[in-house]
Chains A and B, each alone.
Chain A
Amino acid sequence: MKKITTLCAAISALALSTGFAIAEADAPVLSIDGVVIATRAPAPEYLDIDEVISGWVFRTVETQALQMDDFDNPGMIFVDQALDDWNEVNGSEGKSCASCHTGGPEEFAGLRTVLPRWNEDAGAVWTMEDYINNSLVEHMGAEPWKVGKAQMNAMVALISLQSRGMPMNVAIDGPAAETWALGEEIYFTRVGQLDMACANCHIDNYGVMIRADHLSQGQSNGFPAYRLKNAKLNGIQSRFSGCMKNIRATPYAVGGPEFTALELYVASRGNGLSVEGPSVRN
């Protein structure tokens, strides 16, 4: 296996890539305020790769550094904004998030690691966005927030932050199995004018350059991610949408069943990697 790894590194170096080969050799460690983040982990047994690697490893040293200090991480600005929303009364019931969740956002430590997950009452797999909107509508009598928009992404970041450093561990069996299988099918199905599947980039070619972009494994453990290109937090399903546009396919609806299935499948591909949230990517 060692030989193959070396070979891969050599190939990626040939393909005008310097970053990944260097990252392999130096093996940088992501530690944020004393919390060590697992950016590499043995792959779960249902995958066809040996190791799962966080997108952080594939970024440049400068971008990596931004995430190693919360003061420098621009994503934390949005976490602060979400904290304001957390305490703000919203809706007909006269409640804020804090009215019921008296323990603060800390109550949700660990939640991010198991989402998306099967919700028995709803009879479907729910993302964190679904849970937030359910609370807004059912408990607070407020309008739901749009999935993928700033306010929602910020709240997802605040809640994800509580699980920082904990390993992703979504369930793929039991009632979630069907949704997971749909996600897997989407991941491997070629679509769009360029006729590409997620797997073509994120399994077959991670570590090499696709023009100016350094392909990662497409892991979701760092989401929501602050992207330098648009200076805001980006939700995972919006990222899927961007990927699909890049391969000239018509994206599925953000917040819809296809992307939720894909989110579960992609999350399962990262089982073992630490939650980073909010991460910094380019």
Chain B
Amino acid sequence: MAENVKPRVRVPRSAAAGEAFEIKSLISHIMESGRRKDSDGNTIPRSIINTFTCDFNGENVITAELHGAISTNPYFQFEATIEEAGTFTFTWLDDDGSVYTDSKDIALA
């Protein structure tokens, strides 16, 4: 079980219809690659965020598949457009089965 995992996202409060705006997301996570060994020489099991998704009102905006070479605290920045007010939901899936979510409301400017 990864410790100190905390998702955070930044979405503007409002945006004009059809106008691209920036979304930033960051989750604090150790992203243990599964290739390191501890001081006794035993392999430390892989424990990473393997999937990141962002949905808007139930419709998928972006899905990212993460692998062992992604560094600690994965950060995603992307652009989106909206035609109506609604809610962005963000989901991170952990190797250990944990699911971390966050959501942000956005209004139409």
Interface size on B, residues (CB 8 A): 11
The interface stretch among A69-77, A124-132, A250-258 is A69-77
Complex CA–CA separation, A153 to B2 (angstroms): 20
User: Does A71 lie within 8 Å of B24, measured CB to CB?
Assistant: yes
Q: How far is the CA of A81 from the CA of B26 in the complex (A)?
A: 14
Contact between B71 and A231, CB atoms less than 8 A apart: yes
> Is the pair B6, A77 in contact by a Cβ cutoff of 8 Å?
yes
When distances are taken between beta carbons in the complex, the residues of chain B under 8 Å from A72 are 24, 75
Closest to A84 in B: B4
CA distance A231 to B72 in the complex (A): 8
Q: Using a Cβ–Cβ cut-off of 8 Å, how many residues does chain A contribute to the interface with B?
A: 8
CB-nearest residue of chain A relative to B77?
Answer: A72
Q: Is B10 an interface residue (CB 8 A)?
A: yes
Asked whether B8 is an interface residue with its Cβ less than 8 Å from the other chain, the reply is yes
B73 touches A74 (CB 8 A): yes
Q: How far is the CB of B27 from chain A (nearest CB, A)?
A: 9
Asked whether B72 lies within 8 Å of A71 as measured between CB atoms, the reply is no
Cβ–Cβ contact B28 & A80, under 8 A: yes
Whether B8 pairs with A71 at a CB distance below 8 angstroms is yes
Indicate which residue in B4, B10, B72, B75 contacts A81 across the interface (CB closer than 8 Å): B4
Please report the C-alpha to C-alpha distance between residue A77 and residue B7 in the assembled complex, in whole angstroms. Answer: 10
Nearest 5 A-B pairs (CB), nearest first?
A77-B28, A71-B10, A231-B72, A81-B4, A71-B24
Q: 18 A-B Cβ contacts within 8 A? A: A71-B8, A71-B10, A71-B24, A71-B26, A72-B24, A72-B75, A74-B73, A77-B6, A77-B26, A77-B73, A80-B6, A80-B28, A81-B4, A81-B28, A84-B4, A231-B71, A231-B72, A231-B73
Residues of A within 8 A of B (CB): 71-72, 74, 77, 80-81, 84, 231
